[in-house]
Structure 1
């Protein structure tokens, strides 16, 4: 509260000076706030994927920034690996407060513009819970499912009407809020065949009511206004998958759906290329699906085929460079290959070659300050696995480019011992060599430093079976 009072006074002073002057411009806004448990000493502000500025935190982890010549709309606020969208309109003086250990749940706004932004963050959290409920609803037949999600949409629309009556928000807010509701609803319908317990996804898709996907007639696949909007992009990813399933079924009739099928994934990239012309939206979708496939596939030939399709369709030179490096690294990590020479550092500041620490069946795991929940859950899981499999060595590596004392403090504060805990000596290069994506990835290495599995997950249902195979080699 003391922070908000201090910054609020500053903002009021600045706004008063503006009103007392002869200036008539109103296209500005202020954004300030406090970051508790910051991951870095700065925040990044952007709009439509274009970085506006990097703003340093002061000694008390606070910041204050003025947007000159404001282009009203959605802006992205990033800190560490987390982000949220913020709506800024002329003469807003918005304050935020958040704790990085509970990023979205702790985020709260005050000041001018707070009502609409608190509405959005609350809606975001509600949608996260609703998604879990929708998964359960997906086990119903198509007609019943449609009635249930229709009722959820009606509740949200009534809440928006009540908010409009009470606060009289801008047309811009109402446009975005309505899009939020619509695209969350559309996404629920797009995921239905994939979340349904039935194995024949194409048959489930054909069983829905005739009007189930009528909204597709109104979709703009090249909507620049919503191109950085979470719900819109989420919808596009699921919609592309559902449409690809329909297309795939035409030339693979009655084939059991396999999300890891090369044919299905090639169909998906082809559909994106034919359906979407906006380069930003197209490149984002092409990258998302290609990375999703390559990161899980161990078939080098299939990976190369999908990579070729991606490179032919994408216009993003940065994306193509990253994807090529990633696929190349995966190829070097095939089963039987020796673990790459990578330098790691322990919390006594001693540097080792990673291979020197592998003298038994070994599991390599990774973590980052930016994924706090994964950090905690993975370390609790490792505690359990260490008790059950004492003959296996579990090595946990922090991939962040931060001072080692920060990582050590996080381990100590959460009750995790620093035995077999390391940091990469060269984080970016090492992460690239080991193709660390997603963060849940783990690598199994035998006592001879040979890779047994370059892409597994300690939370996988068959992980312990993989461990037994590693022990018995």
Structure 2
């Protein structure tokens, strides 16, 4: 369940930051936010509110900081810092007169995070709820194969337990309306998310059949959905719910107009329906633009049909109001059209561990897998582990790892040493933004396969796909 909830963030990190675009809930009174970072990987913390970076705050000689927010806008804030596996982030609830301090160890980011001071109890509650969710996801996945009525009964039990815990907390530590709205929203939309995902995790591999077996009132909660829930707009469970909710209702509409019986993310009809539903139901431009962009990126990343790129881009453009998102999608489509099967790779300059500059094409002298990574995403370690497994199974294939975002050689080398990656197969781009455009690197964990002559076999695949090894075998048997 956790993987299902999180996988899409790799594709949409550039689009997810949103803002509520209504009158800010600003009250007289400041708030203090500070903390101590154990084993810091860099000497600063980035504090943000929605789309806006408030400040980059330096750590002192004791790896501590304290920051004052004047006339604080009550709600969720995000703090980011470099940790053992890259750039990590966590959300914190701040309200007027809070004086909140945290302590964390970058080696165990979320698990070590503890708050003290005024505002600590509510934030410790939130972080514990987040950590408990990881265990809860496994529990829900375990009974997702149950019949709908049994699944619903068990899911109801989990939600009621969490609501009871909230009431007990409030009886002991009376909390603000903002806190209670946030926690109840989290509980409810996490519950809704599990129900939206249910037809997709059933191993029958026939979503139409799964839909037909659901009780008529299974989705009655949809009458209560707030498509403009400002208090949760920046909170991951709400965005994750919306993403899967639109997948679900778009698929139901698609089934009415087709003979399909399974979920096919490459279906043009399904994706156009999804774009239309997002446009018609979402009222907040920021989150609507994010969902539209995520849908378009996901489709274009999976489709191999250039004509369909244009159809989806046109639909997206008619609904999107974010100029940067349109430019990103338009550039992506242009780059993908240039990466045709059977043609060579564009010229891209790499830098190796010894600071030598070389063209990507000069590295290819046998069937090659090129995979990309970034320290911003934790998944880079998974990608490297998968590549090492495949190297053993397919020694005839060369594997090249390229850091797609770093422009700092010292930091890049530090990461390679930290994770013990092979120095001989690791590279970075000399000009990351130019290279990412030329190679259409979206999502960041995309993979390219080329033959021994450097001709493109697949410009957009995934090492974790069940079909990936079949692609490699097909290449080796040519």
**Count of residue pairs brought into register by the alignment:** 448
Partner of 1:109: 115
Matched, 1:361 2:375: no
Residues 37 and 441 from structure 1, CA distance in 2 versus in 1: closer, same or farther, beyond 3 angstroms?
farther
Query: Please, which runs of 5 or more residues in structure 1 have no aligned partner?
Result: 1-24
TM-score (norm 1): 0.89
Residues 230 and 326 from structure 1, CA distance in 2 versus in 1: closer, same or farther, beyond 3 angstroms?
same
Q: C-alpha offsets along residues 284-308 of structure 1, whole Å, 9 cap, x if unaligned? A: 1111111111112222122221111
Once the two structures are TM-superposed, the CA of residue 326 in structure 1 deviates from its matched residue by 1.4
Once the two structures are TM-superposed, the CA of residue 120 in structure 1 deviates from its matched residue by 0.9
Matched, 1:433 2:438: yes
Once the two structures are TM-superposed, the CA of residue 95 in structure 1 deviates from its matched residue by 1.8
Please say if residues 45 and 53 of structure 1, whose CA atoms lie closer than 8 Å, have aligned partners that are also in contact.
yes
Q: C-alpha offsets along residues 307-365 of structure 1, whole Å, 9 cap, x if unaligned? A: 11101110111111111111221221221121111111111111111111112111111
Partner of 1:307: 313
Once the two structures are TM-superposed, the CA of residue 279 in structure 1 deviates from its matched residue by 0.9
Counterparts of 1:253-268 in structure 2 under 5 Å? 255-268=261-274
Partner of 2:275: 269
SS of equivalent residue, structure 2 residue 54: strand
Once the two structures are TM-superposed, the CA of residue 393 in structure 1 deviates from its matched residue by 1.5
Partner of 1:252: 258
Please say if residues 39 and 369 of structure 1, whose CA atoms lie closer than 8 Å, have aligned partners that are also in contact.
no
Once the two structures are TM-superposed, the CA of residue 446 in structure 1 deviates from its matched residue by 1.4
Equivalents in 1 of 2:468, 2:302: separation in Å? 15
Once the two structures are TM-superposed, the CA of residue 128 in structure 1 deviates from its matched residue by 2.9
Query: Please, which runs of 5 or more residues in structure 2 have no aligned partner?
Result: 1-26
Q: Which is worse superposed, 207-216 or 59-68?
A: 59-68
TM-score (norm 2): 0.88
Please say if residues 153 and 181 of structure 1, whose CA atoms lie closer than 8 Å, have aligned partners that are also in contact.
yes
Please say if residues 26 and 91 of structure 1, whose CA atoms lie closer than 8 Å, have aligned partners that are also in contact.
no
Matched, 1:333 2:335: no
Please say if residues 193 and 205 of structure 1, whose CA atoms lie closer than 8 Å, have aligned partners that are also in contact.
yes
Equivalents in 1 of 2:363, 2:254: separation in Å? 47
SS of equivalent residue, structure 1 residue 192: helix
Equivalents in 2 of 1:46, 1:148: separation in Å? 37
Partner of 1:379: 384
Equivalents in 1 of 2:332, 2:36: separation in Å? 36
Q: C-alpha offsets along residues 194-215 of structure 1, whole Å, 9 cap, x if unaligned? A: 2222333233223222322222
Larger radius of gyration, structure 1 or 2? 1
Partner of 2:184: 178
Partner of 2:148: 142
Equivalents in 2 of 1:293, 1:35: separation in Å? 40
Equivalents in 1 of 2:262, 2:381: separation in Å? 37
SS of equivalent residue, structure 2 residue 53: strand
Residues 253 and 464 from structure 1, CA distance in 2 versus in 1: closer, same or farther, beyond 3 angstroms?
closer
Equivalents in 1 of 2:281, 2:447: separation in Å? 36
Partner of 2:32: 30
Partner of 2:304: 298
Equivalents in 2 of 1:299, 1:172: separation in Å? 47
Once the two structures are TM-superposed, the CA of residue 267 in structure 1 deviates from its matched residue by 0.5
